[in-house]
A and B are shown apart, each in its own frame.
Chain A
Amino acid sequence: MAAVPTAAPPAATPSARGMRRRLTPSRVLFFALFLGLPLVVYVVFVVSPFLQAFYYSMTDWRGLARAPQWIGLDNYVTLANDPIFRKALSNNLILMILLPTITITLSFALAVLVTVGGNSRGKISGIPGAAVFRIVSFFPYVIPAVVVGILFGFIYSPNGGLLNGGLNVLGLDVSIAWLGDRRLAMPAVMAAVIWSLVGFYMVLFVAAIKSIPSEIVEAARIDGAGRLRLAVRVILPMVRENVSTAAVYMGIMALDMFVYINVMTPSGGIGKSTEVVSRYLYETAFSESRFGLASAMGVVMALVTMLMAVIVLFGTRQKGDE
């Protein structure tokens, strides 16, 4: 910036230099184009719907003709007293803990296997066939969530489904309604989600592990670190940023889950065992036409999501940066 000639006299104090710079038309255009335009787009399409939803959450708006009436925090009181909403929220929170933990652990383990999990002597390499595994395990991610849901719906079918069929072949004569049992339904949905996402996070971690200087891994190996210790003590701390990013992404997904739940258990599962806020919100808004209440649910979820992101990002940052 110092190289840009200005008309200001040399006597001007350096700190005030930028402020006194003249607003030439080209500078105005620059600001308008690169700062103003994105800001306008952001305000119109991101901030204003947020504020609007917040406003609607304080009204009894029914999405129809009648003008919304201001009812203050009544919707939030209704939600706090609604057992289904509480069940949905707690399901979301359980998912938020379990889904990222399981998915990231699994995908990190796989990533280690295909990068440094091979023979512990000689050149650092993955297990035999690592290249094939890397490609194959990415496949499920390519399938859209809706298709995954429908697919697993068939797999879990109590009569003639693949899973029960497999168990029958093993000699267990069962006809379990995987998605129709209140204890099994949620784990069954989670298994489908994990199956579809593990490959993606594995690829993410593989890239991160590849960027670790090989000298460090080699040095650790020479010092006698086994594969497990290498993975947990050396590699994991070095890909910490990737793990925390993955955790935030997975957490946000776990707080949504709309597609999987709506496809696999369309009314929230038996006894609301798989109910999540997003599906309940959809039902409240588009079936019961209670947009005010649904907006309140949206606001609650937005707050929970932000809180989760802040905790994860700051939590992992502080550990190493002090």
Chain B
Amino acid sequence: MGTSPEDMTPLDRLGASRRNFLALASAGTGAVALSACAAGGGGDDDESDAGGAPEGGGEVSDDNPFGMAEDEPVDVVIFNGGYGDQYAKDSGEKYQELHPDSEAKVSSTVNIQSDLQPRFIGGNPPDLFDNSGAQSMNASALISEGSLAELDSLIDAPSLDGDGTIGDTLLPGVLSPGTYSGKLFALNYMYTVFALWYSAKQFEDKGWETPKTWDDVMTIGEAAKGEDLALFAWGGQNAADYYHELAISMAIKEAGPDLAKKLDSLDDDAYSQDAVVAAFTAIEDAVSAGYFLSGGAGIKHTEAQTEWVTGKAVMYPSGSWIENEQRDTTPDDYEMTGAATPMLSESAAMGEAAMHGAAGEPFMVPAKAANGAGGLEFLRVMLSKEMCQNFSELTSSMTIVQDTIPEDAFGSTALASVNAMTEAAGDDVFNFNFTDWYGLGDDFKPLWAEFLNGDLTAEQALEKSQEVIDKVREDDGIEKFDVE
């Protein structure tokens, strides 16, 4: 990120964790990554055992699918960030219940890298860690050095709830961000849904319907304008690209997932696709109608979001982290609710319920962990329905495990709507990667700030966006990712 850690938006962080991982394509060709310099001569360079599945040496059974030694302690390090560390401590207690002789040591830190790098170099890494936050370890370096264990055995292991394997319980597509060359190296525990957020209470008071199409959104915009409200809040200093996400998602919904493939492969007419042009034009209409909160160009995402929840604007496009992020400034009766990305037209290819979803918060097991099998077992506990529900209750966020949010969603309207959207979407979940893969946030932020400020027309914005990806495509110094 070009911005310092404190100016990173949650979208940036999600992208960074994904990019770190995916950047492997350039670093994975056997060369030694930078952090190896710091490693000096420490540790034995036993490449042969690197990257394999952890083995415990204990007896394998349904209660102990990884064959961990029952008397070995398990050492877990959690990133103590937006989600806190209580959920992991609770999982630790549950683990203790199941394996009374194996002590669960759960510690947390805000600086994963500075705490764990020395332990990796010294050859005594933890058994499981949550590689998250602004100071996370470079995943591509870890993997190219063979420092991480494969987690595939976890997916095939029986779920703690006795309803098939763990893989059966997961939402669709959640493993792909942690998979590299067909091997699973990171389990992304948390699930983010991108949506258009609003106050259900306000909508009820004003008699507005949840928007399904962009026309519905514009109708609400006009009504809001009549009451001197802006339709959209925006943080032009560092988060204008939230609206890029909205535009691309609308375009994918309109034309189907193939549209995303063209973008991901940096096609030379990616931004001339009809649906992309239509999405940009739609946003331009909202800009010229004056639906964007004035002064947005001068503020950051935190301020923009505060203005939104305090009633100066009606809607805000964001990932489902938004409720947790704005907890301190949101009025109690706000009833924050998400609506799936609106359709550009009634005839959208992917249908009304399709949504943009992505997994984040990568958990990893070091290859040289003393009790890697214990680390896997800990993850298995975390992936049980009970622990996932606990996580959702504590953080108002969803995990990658299906059917873990109860009807009342612990009183969180946002979480209930995330759950409803996920269920309605089923397999109609889409994603796009090019902004994360090639780190284009810094290119799109200023571009979108100008676009939303009315300084660029849709045509110019499209042209400049195409230039951004053309530049990446034509730069031979940048390794390209394969689009499936």
| Chain B residues near A272 (CB-CB < 8 A) | 446
A-B contact pairs, 10 of them (CB 8 A): A63-B34, A64-B34, A66-B31, A67-B31, A156-B298, A182-B455, A267-B445, A267-B446, A279-B2, A289-B439
Classify chain A's interface size.
35 or more
Q: In the complex the two chains form, what is the Cα distance from A288 to B438 in whole Å?
A: 8
Judged by a CB distance under 8 angstroms, whether A262 is at the interface is yes
Q: In the complex the two chains form, what is the Cα distance from A62 to B477 in whole Å?
A: 8
Judged by a CB distance under 8 angstroms, whether B170 is at the interface is no
| Chain A residues near B181 (CB-CB < 8 A) | none
Q: Which of A175, A182, A290 is in CB contact (< 8 Å) with B294?
A: A175
| Chain A residues near B31 (CB-CB < 8 A) | 64-67
CB atoms of A262 and B34 under 8 A apart: no
Task: Tell me, rounded to whole Å, the shortest Cβ–Cβ distance linking A266 to chain B.
Answer: 4
Judged by a CB distance under 8 angstroms, whether A126 is at the interface is no
Known A-B contacts: A157-B298, A267-B237. Give 15 more (CB < 8 A).
Answer: A64-B141, A65-B27, A66-B27, A66-B31, A158-B294, A159-B293, A159-B312, A177-B297, A180-B453, A185-B298, A266-B300, A267-B445, A270-B236, A270-B297, A290-B477
Judged by a CB distance under 8 angstroms, whether A287 is at the interface is yes
| Chain A residues near B296 (CB-CB < 8 A) | 158, 177, 180
Judged by a CB distance under 8 angstroms, whether B49 is at the interface is no
CB atoms of A271 and B298 under 8 A apart: no
Judged by a CB distance under 8 angstroms, whether B32 is at the interface is yes
Judged by a CB distance under 8 angstroms, whether B33 is at the interface is yes
CB atoms of B477 and A267 under 8 A apart: no
| Chain B residues near A156 (CB-CB < 8 A) | 298
Q: In the complex the two chains form, what is the Cα distance from A186 to B165 in whole Å?
A: 58
Judged by a CB distance under 8 angstroms, whether A295 is at the interface is no
| Chain A residues near B23 (CB-CB < 8 A) | 64, 289
Residue in chain B with minimal CB distance to A264 = B237
| Chain B residues near A288 (CB-CB < 8 A) | 439, 442
CB atoms of A286 and B2 under 8 A apart: yes
CB atoms of A177 and B2 under 8 A apart: no
User: Which chain B residues (443-469) contact chain A, with CB distance < 8 Å?
Assistant: 445-446, 449-450, 453, 455
CB atoms of B2 and A267 under 8 A apart: yes
CB atoms of A179 and B33 under 8 A apart: no
| Chain A residues near B450 (CB-CB < 8 A) | 270-271
Q: In the complex the two chains form, what is the Cα distance from A178 to B296 in whole Å?
A: 11
Q: Which of A176, A282, A286 is in CB contact (< 8 Å) with B295?
A: A176
Judged by a CB distance under 8 angstroms, whether B61 is at the interface is no
Q: State the B residues within 8 Å of A (CB).
A: 1-4, 7, 23, 26-27, 29, 31-34, 140-141, 144, 236-238, 293-300, 303, 307, 312, 439, 441-442, 445-446, 449-450, 453, 455, 477
| Chain A residues near B238 (CB-CB < 8 A) | 266-267
Task: Tell me, rounded to whole Å, the shortest Cβ–Cβ distance linking A318 to chain B.
Answer: 42
| Chain B residues near A271 (CB-CB < 8 A) | 446, 450, 455
Q: In the complex the two chains form, what is the Cα distance from A180 to B454 in whole Å?
A: 12
Q: In the complex the two chains form, what is the Cα distance from A159 to B441 in whole Å?
A: 26
CB atoms of B295 and A177 under 8 A apart: yes
Q: Which of B2, B29, B141 is in CB contact (< 8 Å) with A287?
A: B2
Q: Which of A67, A176, A282 is in CB contact (< 8 Å) with B2?
A: A282
Q: In the complex the two chains form, what is the Cα distance from A156 to B298 in whole Å?
A: 8
Residue in chain A with minimal CB distance to B303 = A157
| Chain B residues near A241 (CB-CB < 8 A) | none
CB atoms of B34 and A267 under 8 A apart: no
CB atoms of A180 and B3 under 8 A apart: no
Q: Which of B32, B293, B453 is in CB contact (< 8 Å) with A65?
A: B32
Residue in chain B with minimal CB distance to A273 = B446
Residue in chain A with minimal CB distance to B301 = A266
Task: Tell me, rounded to whole Å, the shortest Cβ–Cβ distance linking B331 to chain A.
Answer: 17
Task: Tell me, rounded to whole Å, the shortest Cβ–Cβ distance linking A248 to chain B.
Answer: 27
| Chain B residues near A286 (CB-CB < 8 A) | 1-2
Judged by a CB distance under 8 angstroms, whether A256 is at the interface is no
Q: Known interface pairs A60-B477, A270-B449. Does A262 touch B297 (Cβ–Cβ under 8 Å)? A: no
Judged by a CB distance under 8 angstroms, whether A265 is at the interface is yes
Q: Known interface pairs A63-B34, A180-B236, A180-B297. Does A287 touch B1 (Cβ–Cβ under 8 Å)? A: yes
| Chain A residues near B298 (CB-CB < 8 A) | 156-158, 177-181, 185
Q: In the complex the two chains form, what is the Cα distance from A60 to B449 in whole Å?
A: 31
Task: Tell me, rounded to whole Å, the shortest Cβ–Cβ distance linking B42 to chain A.
Answer: 19
| Chain B residues near A287 (CB-CB < 8 A) | 1-2, 439, 441-442
Judged by a CB distance under 8 angstroms, whether A165 is at the interface is no
User: Which chain A residues (262-316) contact chain B, with CB distance < 8 Å?
Assistant: 262-263, 265-272, 279, 282-283, 286-290
Residue in chain A with minimal CB distance to B145 = A65
| Chain B residues near A262 (CB-CB < 8 A) | 3-4, 7
Q: In the complex the two chains form, what is the Cα distance from A75 to B306 in whole Å?
A: 42
| Chain B residues near A175 (CB-CB < 8 A) | 294-295
User: Which chain A residues (64-100) contact chain B, with CB distance < 8 Å?
Assistant: 64-67
Q: In the complex the two chains form, what is the Cα distance from A176 to B439 in whole Å?
A: 32
CB atoms of A268 and B295 under 8 A apart: no
Q: In the complex the two chains form, what is the Cα distance from A53 to B186 in whole Å?
A: 35
Q: In the complex the two chains form, what is the Cα distance from A63 to B27 in whole Å?
A: 10
Q: In the complex the two chains form, what is the Cα distance from A156 to B453 in whole Å?
A: 17
| Chain B residues near A66 (CB-CB < 8 A) | 26-27, 29, 31
CB atoms of B446 and A180 under 8 A apart: no
Q: In the complex the two chains form, what is the Cα distance from A78 to B296 in whole Å?
A: 33
Task: Tell me, rounded to whole Å, the shortest Cβ–Cβ distance linking A170 to chain B.
Answer: 19
Residue in chain B with minimal CB distance to A185 = B298
CB atoms of A268 and B439 under 8 A apart: no
Q: Which of A62, A178, A270 is in CB contact (< 8 Å) with B26?
A: A62
